[in-house]
Structure 1
Amino acid sequence: MVKRNLILAFESSCDETSVAVIEDGHRVLSNIVATQIASHQRFGGVVPEVASRHHIEQITKCTKEALEQAGVSYQDLTAVAVTYGPGLVGSLLIGVTAAKTIAWAHQLPLVPVNHMAGHLYAARFVSDFTYPMLGLLVSGGHTELVYMKEEHDYQIIGETRDDAAGEAYDKVGRVMGINYPAGKTVDQWAAKGHDTFNFPRAMEKEDNFDFSFSGLKSAFINTVHNADQRGEVLDKYDLAASFQQSVVDVLVAKTIWALDEFPVKQLILAGGVAANQGLRKQLSAGLQAKHPEVQLLQAPLKYCGDNAAMIGAAGYVNYLHGDRADGSLNAVPGLSFAHLKEEN
């Protein structure tokens, strides 16, 4: 009988408490997510202290439900995987503590996982990976291009210098009166509007793969405030379309350029903003036009946001590569992949 590799995975980096059981790195037996959106909406964003308290309340319930839904017990498990960064330190600590406790109590290997690697491996539920590959990670806290020469090797070739794309969505959404999180609504409004405001495409032509969305955010806010002072009502759909088009144009242009410089076999689109339909369509069209030889893997919509299934998928790979932690494992809120070193 072939042994089942079962990973119990924990994700608590921000405002989602999630526990999952993953078999052999690609089969989701359970993926429990306790969301906190309703608790944070009145604040217009995530409040770290509130998030931590919710994690404490939900982590045990989610673990019990994940095991029951998967139909397994602690004795069936191969290892325990957990996000230890990046993220909110208080939130991370809840997941890390739960994972360490279970691993110690049941004598199971403890596998540390980078949250951003988890986002990349959400695409593993679509297809096997073929290396080398490139990942476009777009979320509320991160916007970066990651080159993967081989499995378990992540190198940043470009990243945002200020606001992440998802963060910009939430900030302009707040100006437009959209409840947190704003990304989905802005995307829906954008589909009904036109790019009439022609907002700036920051760093689109610069000789690097980095991003910047702070200037776009400021231009958007100034446009709205100036109109308010004049008593002018701007079309919300055109505003959303113009903002989104600026974001998407830069993301796609930089990604296509990166593919020119780094020949790969697959491109992963992952992270919370990867659920954006405008981005998905334009990236797919750009790939077909410029690099039809590259396979586009888009993380399934239900795994674009923070979830433990993706941590289990990445954790399985880490487990195979011998990544282990002990009781000293701590939260690392500023955890990052290494940057690509230029070869002489």
Structure 2
Amino acid sequence: MKSTRDNIVIGIDTSCYTTSIAAISLNKEIIFNEKIMLNVDTNSKGLRQSEAVFKHVSNIGQISENIAEKLRDYNIVGVCASEKPRPVKGSYMPVFTVGLNIGKLLSSTHNCPFFKTSHQENHIESSLLGKNLLDKNRFIAVHMSGGTTEIVLVNKGKCGKYEFEIIGGTKDVSFGQLIDRLGVKLSYNFPCGKYIDKNALEYEKTIENGLKTSVKEGYMNLSGIENQLDKIMSNQKEIDKSFLSKLLMDAIIRNMFKSLSYLCEKHGVYEVVFAGGVSASKYISKNLTQKLKKYRIKTHFTHADLATDNAVGCALIGIQNLNLGE
């Protein structure tokens, strides 16, 4: 008979590019955080949903083998899976049905409660782990990933659950798409974030004339940035990958700075939590933190393992629901 300290909640997230399963003890200790990226062909800009669904099913089998031994020492008391990209009506992607149905099966075989959440809530919750916010009941969260750039006002409701209000973001492409599109043009393998980030960190010169940005009341139009980069590349005799990488990253930082300085002042909230794969960038976290600090805005970036796709947030949300008695 296992003791209560060996009770765990399983989190599952099957996003567009990563299969993730995590286990968290009821005292919020990470037991394991397993994830496998979906294979993307060289020079490809992504995967079709049908391809991604097939790859998730294959990855689930591999992860199951990896965690089988670890699970023997624990008692599963709850399962939580992402069922959709965002916590809004009509949000849907086929890839999430894989994790959703695996979660239902797992909860059934272990005779424990099953809970549903969204990919965005999962990201934000995992980014909050271990963070000491001055006010955990009200803050701004930024979700920057391969397909999403949103700024959300987060309030804790009466029942203890977070409520989300979109207050800013991009009106066209996302930061992640800009980074990956530039990376593919520079002959990097998809996803390209780590290469662009490394280049930007290594480029030591200051860029005097950056790319033009378009920001109004917290909302950004980013497609113009890609057009400017294409024009610069077409005029270069020899492509300078580090220069182009830093040029793009500086533009991302300026967009986010303009948006957040406006929104923090408007809503009277001066703490920002960053989630999603793009927030794992060391260049962005360092330079954006410095710029926002001058406006007395405190930033909370997390470790890359919790910023990039994972299922830790799902498991944490499962624990919250257990504590609420749902």
State the TM-score, normalized to the length of structure 1.
0.82
Q: What corresponds to 2:224 in structure 1?
A: 215
Kindly report which structure 2 residues correspond to 1:145-184, keeping only aligned pairs within 5 A, or say none. 145-150=151-156, 151-184=161-194
Kindly report which structure 2 residues correspond to 1:18-29, keeping only aligned pairs within 5 A, or say none. 18-24=20-26, 26-29=28-31
Q: CA deviation at 1:96?
A: 1.1
Q: What corresponds to 1:254 in structure 2?
A: 259
Unmatched tracts of structure 2, length 5 or more: 87-91
User: Is contact 1:152–1:317 with CA below 8 Å preserved after alignment?
Assistant: no
User: Is contact 1:140–1:164 with CA below 8 Å preserved after alignment?
Assistant: yes
Kindly report which structure 2 residues correspond to 1:63-74, keeping only aligned pairs within 5 A, or say none. 63-66=64-67, 68-69=69-70, 71-73=72-74
Query: Pairwise CA RMSD of aligned residues?
Result: 2.3
Q: What corresponds to 2:46 in structure 1?
A: 45
Matched residues, percent identical? 20
User: Is contact 2:23–2:315 with CA below 8 Å preserved after alignment?
Assistant: yes
Identify which of 231, 237, 242 aligns with 1:237. 242
Task: Work out whether 1:263 is the aligned partner of 2:265.
Answer: no
C-alpha distance 22-145 of structure 1, shift in aligned 2 (>3 A): same
User: Is contact 1:31–1:309 with CA below 8 Å preserved after alignment?
Assistant: yes
Q: CA deviation at 1:91?
A: 2.0
Distance 1:14 1:28 in 2: 23
User: Is contact 1:84–1:114 with CA below 8 Å preserved after alignment?
Assistant: yes
Q: Deviations over 1:222-276 (max 9, x none)?
A: 2212x26xxx224222121111111111112211221112223632011100011
User: Is contact 1:26–1:124 with CA below 8 Å preserved after alignment?
Assistant: no
Q: CA deviation at 1:25?
A: 6.8
Q: What corresponds to 1:54 in structure 2?
A: 55
Which amino acid is the alignment partner of residue 188 of structure 1? K
Kindly report which structure 2 residues correspond to 1:1-344, keeping only aligned pairs within 5 A, or say none. 6-24=8-26, 26-37=28-39, 39-66=40-67, 68-69=69-70, 71-73=72-74, 76-86=75-85, 89-129=93-133, 130-150=136-156, 151-193=161-203, 194-195=206-207, 198-203=210-215, 206=216, 208-225=217-234, 227=235, 232-264=237-269, 266-291=271-296, 294=298, 296-321=299-324
3-state SS of the aligned residue for 2:225?
helix
The size of the alignment, in residue pairs, is: 311
Q: CA deviation at 1:89?
A: 3.1
Distance 2:13 2:174 in 1: 21
User: Is contact 2:78–2:107 with CA below 8 Å preserved after alignment?
Assistant: yes
3-state SS of the aligned residue for 1:147?
strand
Distance 1:119 1:212 in 2: 23
Q: Deviations over 1:40-87 (max 9, x none)?
A: 3352323433322221112134235335325545xx222110011118
Q: Deviations over 1:149-202 (max 9, x none)?
A: 224211111121110100111111122222211111111112233425521112
State the TM-score, normalized to the length of structure 2.
0.87
Which amino acid is the alignment partner of residue 117 of structure 2? V
User: Is contact 2:20–2:36 with CA below 8 Å preserved after alignment?
Assistant: yes
